[in-house]
Structure 1
Amino acid sequence: MTSEMRDRLSPFRDRAIARGVPAGDVERWLATARPCVTLARDGGGPVVGQFGGPLLLPADTPDPAHPFVASIDLAALPADGTDLPLPPDGRLLLFAFPETADDCETMGSVVYVPAGTAVKERDRNAWNSFDFGDDEAMFEAFPQGPLRAMANVSLPYHHAVELLGKPGSGPLPGHPCSEELVAVWASTHDDIAPEGPLQIGGYADEEAVYTDPVAVAVSRAMRAAEAGRWDGPVSDDVLDWVLLADWHAGMDVQGWESSTVHWVIQREDLAERRFDRAFTSVFWNP
């Protein structure tokens, strides 16, 4: 954790200690902090991409099977804004359908377009091959417009892990006060790290969270691979995965309140720029 991140998190530290959390537990929790980039349509940060807009893809890239959400100019992101090994330039295109499905299906995709690649505009509705009117109306409600970046800091929003071999859950390993620390973060993060509808890197969040949404996404990716509906190999160790991006769709799309899209990817795939191996999980409580 950088000194700047540590200084920024001082209100969290002070609040946690004031609530009686042992200083050692607070420091171990602070050591888990990750940098992230928050993207929003307002604010004073630099423009780094946009929600919607024309869909520009290389000629040999198939039409994505999910609606187009946003494009990110990787070269424009704040330096060291995340701890992810992202390419230094090019564009990252995010696609998603912000509804839950069965546990054996990815609900979106990611396309990386290297800088200088020739592209052509595609039909943004090509994903809706069956011409479902309700789905198209939902897509038309997706947000549009420039996205501005703010370098941010992220702490876990989840406090528990599922217990292996028996029902129930327990505190995060090594963090006996995890539930109270998450509560402190919930009460302080608006002042420390204001949220935006889109986040690159950091920790995953959703409306009702007690276990890690990335771990949920990993278990779904494993089931999808076992069912032959997503290409493996898939590691069952959540430490081998990272959150690539979060989209709080409920902030923008009326009728999809509480919907959150999580794009996750294995660390090895990210390092090798195999963005086609990203898996998309959705939390939605209609």
Structure 2
Amino acid sequence: MTPDLIRRLAPFREEALSRGIPSQDIERWIAMARRSGTLVTSGDGPVVGRFGGPLMLPADAPDPWFPLLATLDCAALPEEVTGLPLPADGHLLLFGFPEMTYYSASAGEVVYVPAGTPVEERETKYPCVYGEEGDAFDDDQMVRIYEQFPQDELRLSADVCLPYHFLIPSPEPGQEAAPLPDHPRAWELAEAWTDTCGDIIVDGPLHIGGYACHECTETDPVLDAAQEAAQHRRHRTAEPGEPVDAVELPAPEDWTLLAQWDIGLTGREGSTLHWVIARQDLAERRFDRAHVSFFWNP
């Protein structure tokens, strides 16, 4: 963490002190700060990708189920900005749709296309939106939502991020949540961050790395999404004829936020998509094992 990024947290420190939170608690909270990249559609930051645009895939890649949200240039997203060990080159394609899924299934996917891979433009009508060929699928609302997906260049701003959550899943049977360990003032600190982050971080629709949040953040959305992924794995292995993946998913605490889209589309106000991935899978470029969770507080 650079001194410049830590200095940007001064409004948070001042607000927390004004609430009577002991300085040692504040500094322990600040020690959890993470770098993150905010992607915006205006300004003078470097162009690192785009919302929408042509779908460029290798010829042998399957047609995606979910629509393309964004294509990102990994070479333009350095770890010193995002806090993530992304590939040094190539492109990340983020797919997803803001709709509830069944049995904790993923609401999207991530495709990594290494540099130098031959690609071609793919024309496809995404089954998530339009239904599969031959189906009597007719959902005008899905189409209206998809037609609002943004189409624009994405520019990078370096940001710093503190936790928005203050609870963890309880280790005790029968209890849903427990206080964040070693942080007795976590609720007050998270509230101070929520009240000041608008003056600290850049206002943008897409975030890379950092801490996840949504409108009702109490527990970490990354942990929640990782648990969803495990629940869906268990459901799939219980279904007759489904392939069984013998590899256990990493523990929820070993996952990280890859990307967050604060959606704001008409008909999906207050909703968020989180692309999360196990750190081991990120290191091994197993983006096919990422999970996408959808939160909506209508």
State TM-score, norm by structure 1: 0.94
Select which of 236, 246, 261 maps to 1:228: 236
Aligned to 2:80, the other structure's residue is in SS state: coil
Residue 254 (structure 1) aligns with: 266
Point out the more displaced range, 11-20 or 105-114.
11-20
Partner of residue 139, structure 1 = 146
Contact 2:79/2:85 (<8 A) preserved: no
Q: Distance in 2 between matches of 1:247 and 1:232?
A: 31
Segments of 5+ residues of structure 2 without an aligned counterpart are 238-243
Conserved 8 A contact 1:78-1:149: no
The one-letter code of the counterpart of 1:228 is: R
Q: Aligned-pair RMSD on alpha carbons?
A: 1.7
CA distance in structure 2 between the partners assigned to 1:260 and 1:110 by the alignment: 16
- Pairwise CA distance, 1:239: 2.2
Residue 167 of structure 1 and its aligned partner are, at CA, apart by 2.6
Structure 2: how far apart are the matches of 1:117 and 1:46? Answer: 24
Percent of matched pairs sharing the same residue:
50
Q: Which amino acid aligns with 2:154?
A: L
Large movers: runs of 4+ above 4 Å: 229-232
Check if 1:56 corresponds to 2:62.
Answer: no
* 2:281 aligned partner, one-letter code: D
Residues 243 and 91 (structure 1 numbering): CA distance in 2 closer, same or farther, change over 3 Å?
A: same
Distance 1:234 1:36, change over 3 A: farther
| Structure 2 residue 168 is the aligned partner of structure 1 residue 161 | yes
Q: Corresponding residue for 1:271?
A: 283
Matching of residue 176 in structure 1 with residue 184 in structure 2 = yes
Residue among 205, 216, 219 paired with 1:211: 219
State the distance in 2 between where 1:234 and 1:208 align. Answer: 29
Query: Deviations along 1:239-286, whole A, 9 cap, x unmatched?
Result: 211111001112xx2111111001111111100101111011110123
Spell out, residue by residue over 1:31-59, the C-alpha distance to the aligned partner (whole angstroms, 9 max, x if none): 11110000111222111111101100011
Give the corresponding residue for 2:80: 80
Structure 2: distance between partners of 1:99 and 1:192? 31
SS in 2 for 1:244: strand
- 1:99–1:259 contact (8 Å) kept in structure 2: no
Name the aligned partner's letter for residue 289 of structure 2. Answer: R
Query: Counterpart in 2 of 1:104?
Result: 104
| Higher Rg of the two aligned structures | 2
The answer on whether the counterparts of 2:103 and 2:235 sit within 8 Å (CA) in structure 1 is no
1:216 aligns to what SS in structure 2? helix
Shift of 1:162: 2.6
2:241 equivalent in structure 1: none
- Paired residue type of 1:70: A
Alignment length (residue pairs): 284
Deviation at 1:92, TM superposition (A): 0.5
